[in-house]
Structure 1
Amino acid sequence: MKRTVYFDNAKAILIYFVVLGHLLSGYLMENEYVDTFYLVIYLFHMPAFILIAGHFSRRIKRIADLTKIAKTLLLPYIIFQLIYSLYYKNIFGDNVKIEFLEPRYALWFLLSMIMWKIMLLAFGSHRSMVFVSVAISLLAGYMSEVNEWLSLSRTFFFFPFFLLGYYLDRENFVKMKNKWNVRVASILAVAVVLIVYLYGDIHWQEWFFGRVPYEDIRYGILQLNVLSRLFIYGLMMVSTYIFLTLVPKGNRWYTTIGGKTLCVYLLHLFIVRAFKETQIFEWIEDTGNYVVLFGVAFMIVYVLSRNWVWRITAPLITVNKK
């Protein structure tokens, strides 16, 4: 299997769902199909993204590794945290403050990536640490101090996926692509969608985000909070397996987008926020033509993944083109 192509395909599809998910968030609780699709997206798009990020991560061994983390993650976080705050406040009059200890919007991912890489120093020694990370996440949910400050809650919540990806070998991904797995994943995909449609509730979305402690989540799933998080973990693990199994392994027209996902990720919310002020947004809300959002998401990803956009933004995100 052409592993680079496979992972680029996966990242390209995932970044599309990231953008689509943020567009759909403006129309929740208006249509049951929109709610279902939104919840299904959030079952796998960030877990799979984070698992792949973990797979390509290495333990910190020297000062140069810390310098690279500072350049590729911390510096872009600071820059875009400032830019987003000014943009939302001055252009749209949103009530936001300029501060750096609580990530703005999608920027939590950068801050959590920094912490996950550092956490590998303690958790990167044995595969059994994946189970330890799950246990810590379940316990962290009870701590009110583990919240959106420094993205601590999301860091602990998604760390098991990062750690699992770190321990997976390339051969594990190759085995996912056999015919038996593809058939099983296809059946499971239908089952997951049906389960979410029949039994899911859009009010559960906070359980999918993992951004706040249990006490701040108003709607439960199961009787115990820890069981609710375990239930979501189970659905996420199955959904991530389904996605990674069904991702095409050969070259596609969108494969090259997979190498520019960070650029799309950091820039797309500028467009999404502006889109919500347009007449198109209101027209979709009034007419229920939600299918238009699929095209809008495609256009955003397509434009932001162009080489000229990459060349302009590369100095800000301080990453190489490869």
Structure 2
Amino acid sequence: MHDERLATAAPRERDAYFDNAKYLAIVLVAVGHAWEPLRVGSRSVSALYLLVYTFHMPAFIVVSGYFSRNFDASPGRLRRLVTGLVVPYVVFETAYTFFTRWTDRVPDRPVSLLDPLYLTWFLVALFVWRLTTPLWQRVRHPVPLALAVAMLATLTPSIGDDLDLQRVLQFLPYFVLGLCLKPEHFRLVRRRTVQLAALPVFAVALALAYWAVPRMSGAWFYHRDSAQELGAPAWSGPVMTLVTFGCSLVLVGCFLALVPGRRTWFTVLGAGTLYGYLLHGFLIQGARFWGWYGPAWVHDPLGTAAAALVATALVTALCTPPVRRALRGLVEPEMRWAFRQPTAPPGRGERPYAATAP
């Protein structure tokens, strides 16, 4: 969901389908965050929230893996990794720490680059996943191996919070799956039969989520804790890894089936979803501090719909070209001064590579 400026000199025409998918996914992220405070006392909102969290981050990560297939640790791509992920992580981790000192009234909250705050974990995860891309492309059966890593992570509460490694490891299979996908796989999910089945599948999934809300913890879909930390027996961790992976993939497929392939009014916004992702968190955090969730009507169905519409409008505005131009120096700095200039023309002998993040 990152601006797909290539690390090489030769530009490549953007694919409207993937830009549409990234925009719609970032809208779901913002809506999910907007609904979070409304879950208390509402089984319906909790079911909607659980449904969204089942597939929105897996969809992001699968697409990120797909656009990482050409990552080969060449100098140009390593430079883009630093400017497109490491620098924004440092900037926004610091910014969120200072902002939440104010909104959460925790004036002594330390700035820690080892403990990602709020939504910055994804930048750390994508950095680690992309660095390991050459390895996953050379092993046999990469997806089963990545699933095994994720299953073992759920058995290891000692991993702790450093770099949010639980999420890095438990979401890993989705990234590896994206690495293994080819264009024909996306054409398969966009067939008419899959598109017709997608909405009924989502309806069934919502009904199942409504049933599951009082019976299970939705934290399994956050992939940030071990089984023991969720108060579950150790054996349930590997089992739930497989169950959540299967559920998420079904809904990711349905989501991708419904994404339009033609250019739309929001296609251009797909290039700026990293901005929407990193910036909307300030508004979500601020909304609670400013008392936006205080009125009783906000917790009614009308308020739930209003929260979704406001979140959609705000994150849409944050993805627009003017915002990207204004903040490019923070989110996607060139930093030519920090790197040695290549002796050969950039991109010679390299295949095009697009950096994709939310």
Residue identity matched to 1:39:
L
Contact 1:29–1:202 (CA<8 Å) still a contact in 2? no
Per-residue deviation, 1:294: 1.3
* Alignment partner of 1:300 is 2:288: no
Residue identity matched to 1:166:
L
* Alignment partner of 1:70 is 2:82: yes
Q: Which residue of 1 aligns with 2:62?
A: 51
Per-residue deviation, 1:300: 1.1
1:283 equivalent among 278, 281, 295: 295
Per-residue CA deviation, residues 49-102 of structure 1 (Å, 9 max, x unaligned), is 000011001332323322221111011101111111011114552363211101
Contact 1:8–1:258 (CA<8 Å) still a contact in 2? yes
Q: Which residue of 1 aligns with 2:186?
A: 173
Residue identity matched to 1:21:
G
Per-residue CA deviation, residues 108-138 of structure 1 (Å, 9 max, x unaligned), is 0000000001121321225611110001110
* Alignment partner of 1:183 is 2:218: no
1:20 equivalent among 15, 18, 31: 31
Instruction: Between 227-236 and 118-127, report the one with greater CA deviation.
Output: 118-127
Per-residue deviation, 1:145: 2.7
Q: TM-score if structure 2 supplies the norm length? A: 0.83
Q: Which residue of 2 aligns with 1:138?
A: 151
Runs of 4+ more than 4 Å apart: 284-287
Residues in 2 aligned to 1:264 and 1:218: alpha-carbon distance in whole angstroms: 34
Contact 2:198–2:258 (CA<8 Å) still a contact in 1? yes
Residue identity matched to 2:35:
L
Contact 1:10–1:247 (CA<8 Å) still a contact in 2? yes
Q: Which residue of 2 aligns with 1:129?
A: 142
**Number of residue pairs the alignment of both structures matches:** 320
* Alignment partner of 1:34 is 2:41: no
Q: Which residue of 2 aligns with 1:86?
A: 98
Q: CA RMSD in A?
A: 2.3
Per-residue CA deviation, residues 194-247 of structure 1 (Å, 9 max, x unaligned), is 211123448522111111222111368x97232122211111111111111111
Higher helix share: 1
Per-residue CA deviation, residues 280-307 of structure 1 (Å, 9 max, x unaligned), is 3211566522111111112211221232
Per-residue deviation, 1:20: 0.8
Cα distance change on mapping 1:131 and 1:306 into 2, 3 Å: same
Instruction: Between 15-24 and 141-150, report the one with greater CA deviation.
Output: 141-150
Contact 1:147–1:213 (CA<8 Å) still a contact in 2? no
Unaligned stretches of 5+ residues in structure 2: 1-12, 335-354
1:218 equivalent among 214, 231, 242: 231
Q: TM-score if structure 1 supplies the norm length? A: 0.92
Q: Which has the larger radius of gyration?
A: 2
Residue identity matched to 1:123:
W
User: What is the percentage of aligned positions where both structures have the same residue?
Assistant: 26
Residues in 2 aligned to 1:319 and 1:16: alpha-carbon distance in whole angstroms: 25
Residues in 2 aligned to 1:301 and 1:204: alpha-carbon distance in whole angstroms: 28
